[in-house]
Structure 1
Amino acid sequence: MNTVTFFAGMTMGLSLILAIGAQNVFVLRQGLRNDHVFSVCLACAFSDAILIVVGVSSFGKIAAVLPWLEPAMRYGGAAFLVLYGAKSLRSALRSTDALADEASTERSNLARTLLACLAITWLNPHVYLDTVVLLGTVSTQFPDSQISFTAGAVSGSFLFFFSLGYGATRLQPLFAKPFTWRILEGIIALVMWAIAVKLVAGLKYL
């Protein structure tokens, strides 16, 4: 196990998954309600793990057959991240949204909750771009340590979702304020742009 590459994969995975989206808000709300938190976090993290493994194990092989694919995806991914960062920056400057108080003692049906969670995860095109395309692209920079990179990225997903789900109770007072969302969106914009620069420059995520 290459420790440096492991943490590179974890850092990259966390950087991408940090972006606010429907999946993260769903997990956050389930945590605020204390409603099937473990099952929801596990479903999200395990889904990410499957997509990460597919991206790292297959993207390099496909790129070897289609040599133009890697640079196309790299620049295309960078362009997407620039736009995503701009969207986050716009939200940071203008958004007045806040997470509604979803705290409740009533528990929902587990099957329906998991179905909604999986739909939000697997029907979201951004998930595929983040895990299969972007992580797959970055993993090609570590041809001799892809197992370590994959383990780091998967560990990052598990760490993030379970921290988000079980830490939601303490976050509830903060995310009831629009200003907190704006600060987080600003941070996300900077992270997305930094990743875009690294992709274009071909820099390793160390």
Structure 2
Amino acid sequence: MHLMPAVFGLMTGLSLIVAIGSQNAYLLRLGIAGTTRVVLPAVVVCAASDAVLILAGVLGVGALVQSAPMALTVIRVVGAAFLITYALMAARRVIWPDGGALEAREVAPGAGARRAVLTMLALTWLNPHVYLDTVVMLGSIANGQSQGRWWWVAGAVAASMIWFTALGFGARLLRPVFSRPVAWRVLDGVIAVVMLTLGLRIAVGV
């Protein structure tokens, strides 16, 4: 009886987060280059943020989000600026490679994890689409499950935990490929395109 809402929540959650986005692109780069000390906090930030946003939607915050267009406008402007800036940084690495595989290890202990967490927080919470997708849409779907809504929520939260853990720690399997500098330039080129596209879409309100 409760299994179906949980499976539905799991599949709905995966359908939203598996698509290439700023979170996934950044976490992929971290997973390839970083140590567990750097990747784990970033994974936790992603999964915990999704859980908080989904729960907020179930508890009715979605209506508040829809009634506060000015707040979303501010988030859109700041988020777009952040994404475009990050895109330019990635594009710069394509032209002038910086030894990406060593990036996470060359910083002082703790600094890599701190920077990863702050960047991931910005990529998550400065994206207005995350409020519309999780708080408004997922919250509405969850509340439509009647008695099974909390099982649906459990499935959706599990989807985030499974995906971000698999992406963050599975990315290290690609390290042999990224032992070649050209592979980093290709990845950074893809990241630059993704971030710039998202930033421009957010800027124009698409």
Return the TM-score normalized by structure 1: 0.61
Quote the Cα distance in structure 1 between the aligned partners of 2:133 and 2:32: 26
Return closer, same or farther for 1:8/1:59 CA change in 2, 3 Å cut-off.
Answer: farther
In terms of fraction of residues, the more helix-rich structure is 2
- Provide the residue aligned with 2:69 in structure 1: none
- Provide the residue aligned with 1:13 in structure 2: 13
Give the alignment partner of residue 145 of structure 2, picking from 142, 146, 169. Answer: 142
Quote the Cα distance in structure 2 between the aligned partners of 1:13 and 1:107: 35
- Provide the residue aligned with 1:25 in structure 2: 25
- Provide the residue aligned with 1:123 in structure 2: 126
Cα deviation for residue 111 of structure 1 reads 2.0
Quote the Cα distance in structure 2 between the aligned partners of 1:19 and 1:102: 24
Deviation beyond 6 Å, 4+ runs, structure 1 = none
- Provide the residue aligned with 1:44 in structure 2: 46
Residue type matched to 1:121 in 2? T
Cα deviation for residue 26 of structure 1 reads 1.0
Asked if residue 106 in structure 1 is aligned to residue 105 in structure 2, the reply is yes
Cα deviation for residue 140 of structure 1 reads 3.0
Q: Can you give the 5+ residue segments of structure 2 that lack an aligned partner in the other structure?
A: 67-93, 195-206
**CA offset digits 1:2-37 (Å, max 9, x no partner):** 111101001000100011111111111110112411
Quote the Cα distance in structure 2 between the aligned partners of 1:56 and 1:144: 13
Return closer, same or farther for 1:170/1:126 CA change in 2, 3 Å cut-off.
Answer: same
Give the alignment partner of residue 169 of structure 1, picking from 172, 176, 191. Answer: 172
Query: Is the CA contact (8 Å cut-off) linking 1:59 and 1:137 kept in structure 2?
Result: no
Q: Can you give the 5+ residue segments of structure 1 that lack an aligned partner in the other structure?
A: 64-68, 70-97, 186-206
**Structural mapping, 1:159-198, within 5 Å:** 159-171=162-174, 173=177, 176=183
Return closer, same or farther for 1:149/1:32 CA change in 2, 3 Å cut-off.
Answer: same
Q: Secondary structure at the match of 1:19?
A: coil
Return closer, same or farther for 1:146/1:116 CA change in 2, 3 Å cut-off.
Answer: same
Return 155-164 or 128-137, whichever deviates more.
128-137
**CA offset digits 1:171-194 (Å, max 9, x no partner):** 4549x578xx8xxx9xxxxxxxxx
Cα deviation for residue 103 of structure 1 reads 2.3
Residue type matched to 2:46 in 1? C
Query: Is the CA contact (8 Å cut-off) linking 2:6 and 2:155 kept in structure 1?
Result: yes
Residue type matched to 2:6 in 1? F
Return closer, same or farther for 1:25/1:140 CA change in 2, 3 Å cut-off.
Answer: same
Q: Secondary structure at the match of 2:51?
A: helix
Quote the Cα distance in structure 2 between the aligned partners of 1:140 and 1:55: 9
Quote the Cα distance in structure 2 between the aligned partners of 1:132 and 1:59: 7
Residue type matched to 1:138 in 2? I
How many residues align? The count is 144
RMSD of aligned Cα (Å): 2.9
Return closer, same or farther for 1:149/1:128 CA change in 2, 3 Å cut-off.
Answer: same
- Provide the residue aligned with 1:53 in structure 2: 55
**Structural mapping, 1:149-160, within 5 Å:** 149-160=152-163
**CA offset digits 1:66-114 (Å, max 9, x no partner):** xxx9xxxxxxxxxxxxxxxxxxxxxxxxxxxx9x984226154122221
- Provide the residue aligned with 2:87 in structure 1: none
